[in-house]
Amino acid sequence: MAGLGIGMVAALLGVAGGELLIPTIVLLYGVDIKGLDIKLAGSLSLAVSFPTMIVGFARYSNSNAFSILRKESSLFRWMVAGSILGAGIGGLLLGIVPSHLLISVLGGILLISAIKTFKHSH
């Protein structure tokens, strides 16, 4: 049921659902393997998000949503490069950064994201 709900929200918002998957994996399913819960949840989130991204890509490829990527190609390229670099650096820091710090940072990001979402108006 959690996957169904997350999948629907992810499709409606046009996101992969990771912002919902990680808290669900940690809080609802209580993933905890020797204190690696947030790291395992992040890895599981990536694995679960992949099919959601494929469906989203197929769905939005028929709309004009990708015209924005062509229009903002410079921003898109920089974000792709930053994501690849960030994933590489994050992978190198995997055994170094403590879980409690990751949980605090993730919580802060989710809180800021929620506040900005609720303040957003058209």
Q: Give residue 38's pLDDT band: very low, low, confident or very high (50, 70, 90).
A: low
Q: What are phi and psi of 30, to 5 degrees?
A: 60, 40
Q: What is the value of pTM for the model shown?
A: 0.49
Which amino acid would we find at residue 90?
G
Q: What are phi and psi of 59, to 5 degrees?
A: -65, -45
3-state secondary structure of 23: helix
- Domain ranges across the chain: 2-119
Chain mean position to CA 85: 16
Give the pLDDT confidence score for residue 122 in this predicted structure.
56
What is the per-residue pLDDT across 80-99, written as a single tens digit (0 to 9) for each?
Answer: 899 899 989 988 887 788 87
